[in-house]
C-alpha cells in the first residue's frame, strides 16, 4: 500500500475550477467535495511516528498489508493517540480486526480524546454488540448500541463522526448508533483495546464529517423542510376500481390530500390496473401509496405516453412529460405495488421512444417492494433543480428496462433489488442499466448494494452497466454510480461502462466493489473501490444528507 500519513494538520485549498472540484469528488482524495483529509496512516512505513503510546505491546505487522497490532491481551485500556488536540468537527475511520475478544474484552476507535480517560468510543464487544459511548474520567455512558455480528479474525471498518454535540457511529459504512455528547468539543483520535488484542489499518480523519453541517456553496443538499420529528399518523383513504372504496382513481385520492399536508396521509389501493396519469404535487408531502394485498403485482398504475407521443394541443410530451407517475411531494412512500409505462415500441415509429414509468423530483422518498416496468428510461430519478439533491431509498424492488432505464441526477440507493435488463434482440448491445447525470458538487449518485442483475433473454456480454449522461451538454453533470456486493449475470459486459454523446465514461465516477456472478469479471475497464474506500460508499452515506435521514432497515 502507498504511504498515506498526513501529519501534522494539512490545510485544504479551495477548489474553484471545475477540474479541481471534480478531483475532490473522485476517490483517493477527500471523502467528499467538502471534506479535507486531516490525517492518514496506513502504516506502510513500518513505524508509529505521530502516535503516542499508552500501555500494551504495539508493532507494525503484515496482514495483507502493513497493519498496527496491539498484542497484549491482559491490559485494560491499552491505546495510542494521534492528531491534534484542536480538532473539532471531523470523522475518524479505521479498519479494525479483533484477534482475541474475551467476555470482558473490547476493541475500539476513539474520537475527541482529550486525555487517556476522556473520549468518545465506538466499541466492538463480544456477544455481537457494537456500542457508541461517551467516556469521561474513565466512566462510560452509552449513547447508543446495535446488535450485529462481531467475530475475532474479521476486519471491520469503524467510523465516528463528531459534529457539534452530535456523535454518530458507523460499522462498514452503516449507521449503527447516534447520540448527543457533552464532552469537550475538541480532541485527538485513538485506537483502543480492553483485555483484547487487535490489528488496525487505514486510519483516516476528514474534516467536517461525512454529513456536513454547512453544504458546499454550489449546491443545496435539500430544499425539503427538515422535520423536527417523524410526522404523526394522519388521514387515510381507499382506492378501488369497483367503487367499494373512497375513490375509483388514484389521482382523485391524491387530490383529496389537503394542500400543505403535514402528517402522513395513507392511500390504500385495492387490486386492479389503474390506467391513469398520476402526479403528487409539491404541496402534498407525506403521501403513502400502499397496495392492499402485499403483492406488488396486484396493483398496477400505468399509462403509455412516450417522449415522441403527440400532445392534443400540439407538440410532443418529451421525456419528463411521458411519465406515468410524477412525484414532486417530499417524504412520499410506496409499498407493494407496480408503476409502469406500457408504451408499445413495436406499435409505434417515433423518433423519441423514451417512456418513463416514474419521475421523481422530490426528496426523502422510500419505495418498498415496488416494481418499475418499462423499456427505455423506465425510472427517472431526478431532483427539482440542478442545485438541489433529491434522495430515494429503493428496498426489495424490481426495476426493468433496456436503454438507460435508471437515470437522472438524483441520489438513490437500490438495496436488495432485482435489476432486470430486457433484450432488444441484439447479440452485442442490449442496452444500458444506468445513465446518471449527477452534479459535480454531489458526491453521491446511484448505489446498488446487495442487488441481483438479471435478464429476460439478453445474451452474454451484451449489456452495459452504464454511461454518463450530460443533459444539454452540461459539463458539470459528472455521473456517479457504484455497484457493490451484488450478483451480476452473464449478460453484463466485461467492459461494462461506455461513452455517451461524446463524453467519456472515464471522466465519470463509476466504480464496483466485491461483486460476484458471471458478469463480475474484473478487467482494466472496471474501476474497483479499495477496502478503505468502500465504507464511504455505503447506503447510509448516500442518504444521510444534512438532516441525518436514515430510512434503512
Pick the catalytic residue: 377, 415, 474, 499?
377
Q: What single-letter DSSP state applies at residue 385?
A: S
The set of cell numbers assigned to 360 is 421523481
The set of cell numbers assigned to 71 is 498484542
Q: Count CA atoms closer than 13 A to 85's CA, side-chain side.
A: 5
SS3 at position 384: coil
Alpha carbons 107 and 130: distance in angstroms, whole number:
10
Alpha carbons 95 and 206: distance in angstroms, whole number:
15
Question: Which of 388, 424, 387 is closest to 405 using CA atoms?
Answer: 424
Alpha carbons 342 and 331: distance in angstroms, whole number:
27
Chain-centroid distance, C-alpha 37 = 21
Report CA Rg, the chain.
Answer: 25
- Give per-residue burial for 175-214: e unless 16+ CB within 10 Å, then b: bbbbbebebeebbbbbbbbbbbbbbbbbbbbbbbbbbbee
Q: Taking the CB of residue 115, how many other CB atoms lie within 10 A of it?
A: 14
Q: How far are the Cα atoms of 31, 49, 98, 167, 237 from residue 119, in angstroms, in the given order?
A: 24, 22, 21, 11, 51
Alpha carbons 50 and 21: distance in angstroms, whole number:
30
SS3 at position 237: strand
Q: What single-letter DSSP state applies at residue 541?
A: H
Alpha carbons 132 and 120: distance in angstroms, whole number:
7
Q: What single-letter DSSP state applies at residue 279?
A: E
For 55: left if phi > 0, alpha if psi spans -120 to 50, otherwise beta; the answer is left
Alpha carbons 195 and 392: distance in angstroms, whole number:
43
Active site residue 404: yes
Pick the catalytic residue: 89, 363, 404, 415?
404
Element spanning 130, H or E: strand 129-136
Catalytic residue list: 377, 404
Amino acid at each position: 500500500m502507498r504511504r498515506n500519513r498526513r501529519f501534522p494538520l494539512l490545510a485544504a485549498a479551495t477548489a474553484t475550477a471545475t477540474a479541481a472540484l471534480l478531483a475532490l469528488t473522485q476517490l483517493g482524495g477527500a471523502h467528499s467535495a467538502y471534506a479535507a483529509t486531516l490525517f492518514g496512516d496506513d502504516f506502510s512505513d513500518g513505524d508509529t511516528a505521530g502516535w503516542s503510546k499508552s500501555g500494551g505491546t504495539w508493532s507494525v505487522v503484515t496482514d495483507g498489508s502493513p497493519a498496527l497490532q496491539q498484542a497484549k491481551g491482559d491490559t485494560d485500556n491499552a491505546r495510542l493517540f494521534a492528531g491534534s488536540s484542536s480538532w473539532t468537527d471531523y470523522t475518524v475511520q479505521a479498519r479494525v480486526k479483533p484477534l482475541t475478544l474475551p467476555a470482558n474484552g473490547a476493541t475500539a476507535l476513539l474520537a475527541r480524546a482529550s486525555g487517556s480517560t476522556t473520549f468518545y468510543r465506538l466499541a466492538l464487544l463480544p456477544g455481537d454488540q457494537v456500542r457508541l459511548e461517551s467516556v469521561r474520567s474513565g466512566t462510560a455512558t452509552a449513547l447508543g448500541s446495535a446488535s450485529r455480528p462481531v467475530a475475532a479474525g474479521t476486519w471491520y471498518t469503524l467510523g465516528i463522526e463528531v459534529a457539534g454535540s452530535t456523535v454518530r457511529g458507523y460499522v462498514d459504512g452503516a449507521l449503527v448508533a447516534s447520540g448527543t455528547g457533552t464532552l469537550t468539543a475538541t480532541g485527538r483520535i485513538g485506537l483502543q483495546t480492553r483485555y483484547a488484542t487487535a490489528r488496525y489499518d487505514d486510519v483516516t480523519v476528514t474534516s467536517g464529517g461525512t454529513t456536513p453541517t454547512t453544504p458546499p456553496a454550489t449546491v443545496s443538499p435539500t430544499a425539503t423542510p427538515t422535520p423536527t420529528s417523524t410526522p404523526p399518523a394522519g388521514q387515510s383513504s381507499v382506492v378501488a376500481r369497483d367503487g367499494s372504496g373512497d375513490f375509483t382513481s388514484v389521482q382523485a385520492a391524491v387530490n383529496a390530500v389537503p394542500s400543505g399536508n403535514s402528517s402522513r396521509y395513507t392511500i390504500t389501493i385495492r387490486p386492479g390496473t389503474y390506467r391513469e396519469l398520476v402526479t403528487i404535487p409539491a404541496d402534498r408531502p407525506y403521501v403513502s401509496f400502499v397496495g392492499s394485498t402485499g403483492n406488488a403485482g396486484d396493483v398496477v398504475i400505468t399509462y403509455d405516453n412516450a417522449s415522441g407521443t403527440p400532445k392534443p394541443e400540439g407538440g410532443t410530451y418529451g421525456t419528463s412529460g411521458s411519465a406515468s407517475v410524477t412525484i414532486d411531494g417530499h417524504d412520499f412512500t410506496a409499498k407493494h405495488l407496480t408503476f409502469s409505462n406500457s408504451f408499445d415500441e413495436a406499435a409505434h415509429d417515433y423518433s423519441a421512444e423514451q417512456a418513463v414509468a416514474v419521475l421523481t423530483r422530490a426528496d426523502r422518498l422510500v419505495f418498498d417492494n415496488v416494481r418499475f416496468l418499462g423499456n427505455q428510461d423506465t425510472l427517472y430519478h431526478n431532483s427539482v433543480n440542478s442545485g438541489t439533491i433529491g434522495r430515494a431509498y429503493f428496498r426489495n424492488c424490481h426495476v426493468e428496462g433496456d436503454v438507460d432505464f435508471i437515470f437522472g441526477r438524483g441520489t438513490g440507493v437500490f438495496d436488495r433489488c432485482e435489476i432486470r435488463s430486457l433484450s432488444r434482440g441484439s447479440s452485442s448491445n442490449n442496452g444500458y442499466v444506468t445513465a446518471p447525470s449527477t452534479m459535480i458538487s454531489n458526491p453521491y449518485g446511484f448505489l446498488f448494494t446487495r442487488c441481483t442483475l438479471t435478464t429476460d433473454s439478453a445474451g452474454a456480454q451484451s449489456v452495459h452497466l452504464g454511461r454518463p449522461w450530460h443533459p444539454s451538454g452540461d459539463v458539470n453533470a459528472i455521473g456517479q454510480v457504484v455497484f457493490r456486493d451484488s450478483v451480476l449475470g452473464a449478460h453484463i459486459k466485461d467492459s461494462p461502462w461506455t461513452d455517451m454523446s461524446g463524453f467519456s465514461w472515464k471522466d465519470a465516477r463509476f466504480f464496483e466493489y466485491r461483486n460476484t456472478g458471471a458478469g463480475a469479471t474484473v478487467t482494466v475497464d472496471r474501476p474497483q473501490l479499495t477496502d478503505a474506500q468502500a465504507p464511504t460508499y455505503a447506503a447510509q452515506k448516500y442518504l444521510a444528507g444534512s438532516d441525518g435521514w436514515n430510512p434503512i432497515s
